Amino acid sequence: MFSPRRFIFVVCLGAFLGTGWMVAAAKTVPDRAQVREYWIAVESERWNVASHPDEQSGQRIAPEQATFNALHLRAYSPGFGVALPADPALGLAGPTIEATVGDTVIVHFKNLDNYYRQPHSLHPHGLQYSDAMDGSYMRSHPDKPGTAVPFGETFTYTWKAAADSVGAWAYHDHSVQPERNAALGMYGAIRVYDPKTRRPDREFFVFLTGLEAPTSGLGRDFDLINGLAYAGNTPTLVAKRGELVRFNVLALGTEFHTFHIHGYRWIEDGRSEDTHPIGPASSWSVAIRADNPGMWMYHCHVDQHLQNGMMGMFHVL
C-alpha cells in the first residue's frame, strides 16, 4: 500500500555544467530555435543507497538493508542504439532535459522495466504540450496513447519551451502507479534557459527523495540525495572560488523541506537567509557567488530527513 510520504521529491539543480552530451540530436530551425531530441528508457536495476560508511557518524549500513529494485531513466543514442554515459553526480536521477525558450523538445521514451514489467509514462512540468502529449494515465481512458506505455514499447512525446518555461522543472512517471514509480527513481529535471540571460559558471542538479521500506523493500526508511544516503555516498558538489553557482530547488509530494547550505547566505525578498522552505510541487532558484572556500554541508534541515541520510557536501576550491 502506498504511503503519501514515499513520494517526497525535491529537485535541487546539481553537479555539472552543461548536458550537451544528453542531446542526441539538435536540428536548427529558421527562427534560431532548435528541436532538441532525446532517447530515454526506463530500466530496473538493483540499487544500493549507502555502499560506503556515513562520513559524519561512521555508521555503516548492511547491503541487505540498503539495496532495492530501482527504476532508472537512462539516456540513449539515437534509435536507442547504445546507452550514453550518465553524469555520476546525478546518481539515480534521470538525464537532464535542456532547452532554450522557443525550442521544441522531442522525447522518445521506451519501457525497458524488466523487473516490475508495469506500464510507464513521462509527464513534464513547466513545458507547453497538447492533451495528447500529457503522459498522464486516466482509468476512464486506459487506452490513451502515451499514458501507459507497456514493457518493450516506445512512445514519442513533443513538448515546447515557452517564455514562461524558464527555470527548473521535474519530469516523472504519471502512469498507473505514478507516486510509487517516482519514489523508486523514475524522475529527472528539465532546465529551460532564457537566451538573453547569462548562464551561471556552474549548475548543480540535486534530487532529494524520501523512500519508505514498504515501497522499496529496503530494510528501513531513507531520505536520499540523488538516490543515495549520507555523506560519503551522496554527491560532493565542486565549484571553484569566484564562480557563479546556481541552485534550483523543486519539491513534489506531500512533505515540506528546508534547504540549507553551510557557509553561504543569499538575498530572498529583500532579506538575507541561509535556509529556504520548499513546499510540495513548488520550485525555487538561487544563484550564489562561491567566494567562501571550504568543504560545506548542504542538506534538508528537517531533522528526520537529515538523520535518514539527506546530506551532501559542497566543496569550494
Residue 288 has a pLDDT of: 96
39 φ, ψ (degrees, to nearest 5): -115, 110
Residue 242 has a pLDDT of: 98
The pLDDT confidence band at residue 31, using thresholds 50, 70 and 90, is low
Q: Across residues 127-144, what is the average pLDDT?
A: 96
The pLDDT confidence band at residue 23, using thresholds 50, 70 and 90, is very low
Tell me which of 89 and 152 has the higher pLDDT.
152
Q: Would you list the domain boundaries of the chain?
A: 4-316
Residue 21 has a pLDDT of: 36
Asked if the model's pLDDT at residue 1 lies above 80, the reply is: no
Residue 98 has a pLDDT of: 97
Please indicate, yes or no, whether the overall pTM of this predicted structure exceeds 0.95. no
Superfamily of domain 4-316, CATH level 4: Cupredoxins -  blue copper proteins (2.60.40.420)
The pLDDT confidence band at residue 96, using thresholds 50, 70 and 90, is very high
Asked if the model's pLDDT at residue 208 lies above 50, the reply is: yes
Beta bridge partners of 272: 267
